[in-house]
Amino acid sequence: MIEVDVSRKAYRQDHDLSELVVLRDIRFSVEPGQFCCIVGPSGCGKTSLLNMISGLDEDFSGSVRIDGGAPSAGPPPGYMFQSSRLMPWLRVRENVDLVTNDSAARENVDELLREIGLEDFVDAYPGQLSGGMRRRVALARAIINEPSLLLLDEPFLSLDTPVANRLRRLLIDVCGRRSSTVLFVTHDLREALYLADRVLFISSRPGEIVLDHLVDIPRPRVPEGEDIELLRLELLKKDPQLLSGLVENDENSHQG
């Protein structure tokens, strides 16, 4: 159970010492095993939110509790950052192996790399891979321990559709196996509706929750299926302001 109660998160800006408020009054909780997508425009504080939940960022007003304790007290989450953040001096296999925390996970590294289609590159260095392949390694690193909490920050951005869909299925598989709780940041509403049990919509900066929607489309779902498209249009009709400032399906427009 994740309980988030953040009244304010601000960054001090270097150039004029003013404060930039990125999140305000964010309150929600996520049940164990729930797949929760967080949708919102660039710069609305989605990444900040993940950093707070992962325990990386402790500088904010409010509290984040995981199973009643501080984020850094529980078992380590799997975290896939927005950039791949692989160690350039470690080979692909070593990069995934680096974070394994038991022998079962260690034995699983090669199998997982095969599942995400990198079996021919296990001995390559990240510098020899394409950007999309590096993302896949980063995904493998995030899920290798089958963590009870998985944090994913726009993981499938800039991957081509077939590969992204394959990885989405893999993700659903892995999460189902361990009934992981997932927080998945994206600005692609179709992707969110395909994957999620629940979607949280965050407004542009300062980010506030504008809609908390439970997705009741039965599984297994079809990516870009008709029911997903219908739900998407329905949501947009109900609240046209929902996605203001959010550019859909435009992969190049994304900024950190």
Partner 1 sequence: MKPSIRNWSIPWLRVGSLILFIAIWQLAAEFVDRQILPGPYQVLLSVIDHIDRGELVFHLLATLARVLISFVFAMALGVALGIVMGRNRNWDAALDGVLILALNLPALVTIILCYLWFGLGEFAAILAVAINKFPVVVVNMREGARAVDQDLLQVAKVFRLEWRKRWFQVYLPQLYPYLLASARSGLALVWKIVLVVELLGRSNGVGFQLGIYFQFFDITSILAYSFAFIAVVMAIEYLLITPLDRRLMGWRP
**Cβ neighbours for 52, distance < 8 A, ≥ 6 positions apart:** 4, 6, 9, 58, 60, 64, 71
Output the smallest distance, CB 84 to partner 1, in A: 10
Tokens coding 17 = 């010492």
Residue number with CB closer to partner 1 (153 or 188): 153
Query: Whose structure tokens read 């289609």?
Result: 117
Output the smallest distance, CB 54 to partner 1, in A: 5
Output the smallest distance, CB 74 to partner 1, in A: 10
Give the side-chain half-sphere CA count within 13 A for 93: 13
Residue number with CB closer to partner 1 (79 or 194): 79
Output the smallest distance, CB 43 to partner 1, in A: 19
Output the smallest distance, CB 241 to partner 1, in A: 34
Residue number with CB closer to partner 1 (41 or 55): 55
Output the smallest distance, CB 28 to partner 1, in A: 21
Output the smallest distance, CB 85 to partner 1, in A: 5
Residue number with CB closer to partner 1 (82 or 203): 82
Residue number with CB closer to partner 1 (28 or 125): 125
Q: Which residues bind partner 1 (CB under 8 A)?
A: 54-56, 76-77, 79, 81, 83, 85, 87-91, 94, 98-99, 125, 127-128, 141
